[in-house]
């Protein structure tokens, strides 16, 4: 995928265990960003910060999750991420739904369609799992 604003190219791939450190760094940037928007928003509790590596390891192994990263082709740096998951809930009419949990693009790589591309790939994951309804929360 070539950026519309310059000649940088990016590609989106499924994350691997070696990407977890960078994914956590981006997730923490998202946490900081949420603070600037509204300090009353839900945040990761301090008790769970240390559990993030094992949380992401679990997500990478579980077929109910999709963890994607955006890689700058020139520098090979991970510059974005998205996570989505399948939720099962027998209580509702739609027993199986998708939830887009987190999306982050490093600031210097924004406005290039990367967020939309990540979101579309998560939606493709949901479609591939026969999910017709999804949710997301946004700031």
pTM: 0.86
Q: Roughly what angle, to the nearest 10 degrees, separates helices 20-37 and 52-61?
A: 120
Mean model confidence pLDDT for the chain: 89
Per-residue tokens: 81? 């991420």
d(CA 114, CA 11): 9
Residue 117 pLDDT class (50, 70, 90 cuts): very high
What is the C-alpha to C-alpha distance for residues 41 and 37, in angstroms, rounded to an integer? Answer: 8
Of 10-14, 45-49, 55-59, 134-138, least confident by mean pLDDT is 45-49
Taking only the tens place, the pLDDT of each residue in 104-116 is 999 999 999 999 9
DSSP-assigned letter for residue 84 = E
| Tens-place pLDDT, residues 24-75 | 999 989 888 877 777 777 767 777 778 999 999 999 999 999 999 999 999 9
Supply 38's token pair. Answer: 């509204």
């Amino acid at each position: 995928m070539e950026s519309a604003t310059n000649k940088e190219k990016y590609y989106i791939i499924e994350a691997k265990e070696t990407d977890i450190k960078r994914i956590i760094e981006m997730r923490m940037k998202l946490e900081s960003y949420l603070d600037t928007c509204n300090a009353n928003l839900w945040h990761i509790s301090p008790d769970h910060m240390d559990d993030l590596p094992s949380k992401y390891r679990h997500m990478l192994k579980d077929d109910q999750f999709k963890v994607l990263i955006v890689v700058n082709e020139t520098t090979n740096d991970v510059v974005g991420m998205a996570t989505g998951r399948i939720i099962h809930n027998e209580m509702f009419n739609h027993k199986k739904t998708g939830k887009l949990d987190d999306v982050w693009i490093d600031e210097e790589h924004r406005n290039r369609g990367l967020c939309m591309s990540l979101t579309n790939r998560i939606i493709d994951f949901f479609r591939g799992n026969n999910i017709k309804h999804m949710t997301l929360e946004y700031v």
